[in-house]
Amino acid sequence: MATLQKIRGKAGLLVGVIGVALLAFIVGDLLNSGHTFFSMNRNKIAVVNGKKITPEEFQAQVQMRTEEMQNMYRQQYGMSLPEGAASRINKEVYDQMVQDILLADATEELGLTVSKEELSDLLQGDNIVPMVKQQFTDPQTGVFNKDLLLNFLQVIFDENESNLQGEMKDQIMRQREAWLNIEKNVKQQQLVGKYFTLLSKSMAPNKLDLKAAYDNGKSSVDFAYVEQPYTSIADSTIAVSESELKNLYNKEKENFKQEEKREVKFFSVDIVPSQGDYKLTEEKINNLKENFSTTTDIAGMLSFNTDVPYVDAYVAQRNMNPEMKKFVETSQVNDVYGPVFEDESYKMYRLMGKTVAPDSVKVRHIMFPLQADEKIKNQMDSILNVLNNGGDFAALAKQFSVDQNSAANGGDLGWLTETTAAQFGQKFVSSIFNGGSGFFTVETPYGQHIMQVTERTAAVPKAKVAQLVLKVRPSSETYSTLYNKVSSYIAENGNLESFEKNAKDKGFTLNTVELTTEDISVGMLNDGREIVRWAYKSDKGDISEIFNIENKFLVAALSNVTPAGYAPLKTLESYLKTKLLADKKADMIMKSLSEKAPKTLDAYASAMNSKVDTAKFVTFNTSVITGIGREPVLCGIAPYASVNQLQGPVKGNNGVYVLSVTKKDESSVPMNNDMEKQKYQQMMYSLLSSQLMEVMKDKAEIENNRVKFF
């Protein structure tokens, strides 16, 4: 009991000790983890209405979109993604993820959903969306094959993954992921469609709206006019006070909201070869000439020595560049041409062979997995037997080929040249160009194939040419010289004032740009995202490290930071002054005209030191008047004015106008309520489509941290 009483007596002390120990444990854990608590707020790309976008989920979406774009560029243009594509994909994905959250919130609040049954109907039921139909439509016949779609879904979702290996498994997984992405997009589009329909229905026009819309386009007029432009009065003759500027600024202040901006001054130096680099490259290709001319392993020799990969394929002479074609036509096998200098490269050609053969062949295939499997072998033998006995190749390809892309077209791979076919290996090239007709099998790095050549072009002269190409590149010495030149300038001019002041004397051209967090291009650079990220983590006056961007060394200085909020009066002074000058000039012109009191258009022309001109076919809905420009005041007055009656003087955007309608055409077509309603709804839908997301973003709470990561 005594012990218990002592414990009770020390309870406060014990609680304090335990509390300190727990606090030490928690703080120690936080310090050891390095980021569990303190970086919690940093571990997010954005927060949209309280919903967090993490770097992991953002990067997953970026990777998926990048793969889609890369495949598209390869298929359509035969090239990799262009410079700046990565940054643009990042922005596109960010915008889409923000949009998805905003729309999800809006539709959830309204109780809009897409049920499983509805989604199933859109993907594989009676109302399949065009996005899916397009993937499973025969381009030859234009007929959608629903059985092919259902078979595809069964393969990618019902296949036992334990039976899949290598390329086959990767292909199934990619197709499954692509399909799930389609499902997500279809569901999203359906929700968006419902949301847009609901909003557009809420903006249905009444009878007065329709009558006004009809009347606004009913009258078309021609008119004669006289203009005295504001430029006819010199700016220097009019005074604009600071108080006037401030009053106009305060009046229009809400139009001047802006996000944070960062002004950067930068110069760049092109990383280009020196004269010594040209000489070294020429010497190198001359040293390789004997080996290039005599080697029996041309592919092996070129694999280490050329900037243009060797393709072991015959090419139609008519498709060669003029210089190569002339060499082939006048040379014997193993003759060598060059070196010559062209397109910043030194080149040599060696003629490896000549032949006369089809330039292209059209082929189709049924593809099977690459792994050696008795079951697959028996299946291929069985299908070959069916084909040799009159079986339908296209139907068999759709049923059995693991290449679902070509299967949708009956296995058709289209027209192939030897160059395009070389990616499948020499066995493949030899089989389709040197084989006969009928069906045959061949193995490639991608799988096992049952092949058929369906068409061949006429035989033409062809040649196989090996090219040794050495592009002249800046050497490490040149690179270091340029880098040291820039580095020395930074070391000697480490503050903003000297950085700006001394650039010209050192041969550097300084550029100035104002950046936002969403910018990608910087000046003439397609992808300056690295500079944008630097600018937004730096302080005014900071000088950057040396960036290596688009084959340039670039250095930037952060010269100004404009915080988010209202643009300062100083930056808008020129704009505000122009408006005030125009208004004061208009008053001066109209006062002068009032004193002169002209009675005719010709008299106004004389008083305004101008001439009479004409405009035609102007309605209330006209946005730009030919010969005048954007002058809403004229479109508002002219259609409702009486013929031959002077109107004005009136203030316009560009000058003061006086006009007289010379001709008025009233539409004889009676008002059609249904047509006007349809036009009105199309206009509303267009406004919704173009402005809805911007309005939603403006009203949402969005914390954008993307510039800290990407």
Query: Residues 298-348: pLDDT tens digits?
Result: 999 999 999 999 989 999 999 999 999 999 999 999 999 999 999 999 999
Contact 522, 264 (CB under 8 A): yes
φ/ψ of residue 662, rounded to 5: -100, -20
More confident: 286 or 193: 286
Lowest-pLDDT choice from 69-78, 232-241, 638-647: 69-78
Q: How confident is the model at residue 67 (pLDDT cuts 50, 70, 90)?
A: confident
Backbone angles phi, psi at 354, to 5 degrees: -130, 150
Q: Are 651 and 633 in contact (CB under 8 A)?
A: yes
Backbone angles phi, psi at 446, to 5 degrees: -100, -20
How crowded is the C-beta side of 315, counted as CA atoms within 13 Å?
A: 21
Is 173:165 a contact under the CB 8 Å cutoff? no
Contact 515, 261 (CB under 8 A): yes
Measured in degrees and rounded to the nearest 5, phi and psi for residue 638 equal -55, -50
CA distance 23 to 76: 61
pLDDT number for residue 180: 86
Q: What is the mean pLDDT of residues 226-230?
A: 95
Give the containing element (helix H, strand E) for 510: none
Number of other residues whose CB lies within 10 A of the CB of residue 258: 14
Per DSSP, the three-state class of 299 is: helix
CA angle 147, 152, 153 (to 5 degrees): 100
Residue 166 clears pLDDT 60, i.e. is over it: yes
- What local confidence, expressed as pLDDT, does residue 35 receive? 38
**Tens digits of per-residue pLDDT, 436-467?**
778 999 999 888 999 999 999 999 999 999 99
What is the full DSSP assignment across 635-666?
Answer: HHHGGGSPBT-EEEEEE-SSEEEEEEEEEEEE
| Mean model confidence pLDDT for the chain | 86
Q: Which of 473, 463, 98 is nearest to 312 (CA)?
A: 463
Identify the residue whose tokens are 């001319």. 293
pTM more than 0.85: no
Q: Residue 84: helix, strand or coil by DSSP?
A: coil
Specify the pLDDT at position 1.
34
Place of tokens 């040396």: 546
Alpha-carbon distance of 587 to 607, in angstroms, equals 15
Predicted pLDDT of residue 134: 81
Q: How confident is the model at residue 39 (pLDDT cuts 50, 70, 90)?
A: very low
Calculate the alpha carbon distances from 557 to 33, 192, 254 in Å. Answer: 36, 44, 31
530 has a pLDDT exceeding 90 = yes
Tell me the pLDDT tens digit for each residue of 567-607.
889 889 999 999 999 999 999 999 999 999 999 999 999 99
pLDDT at 139: 64
pLDDT of 142 > 90? The answer is: no
Quick one: pLDDT at residue 140?
63
| Measured distance CA(511)–CA(24) in Å, rounded | 53
The single residue listed with the structure tokens 């059985």 is: 147
Kindly give the pairing relationship between strand 345-358 and strand 459-471: antiparallel
Sole residue written with tokens 């003087």: 649
Q: At residue 621, does pLDDT exceed 50?
A: yes
Contact status, residue 361 vs residue 433, Cβ threshold 8 Å: yes
Going by C-beta distance under 8 Å and a sequence separation of 6 or more, which residues neighbour residue 56? none
pLDDT at 34 over 50: no
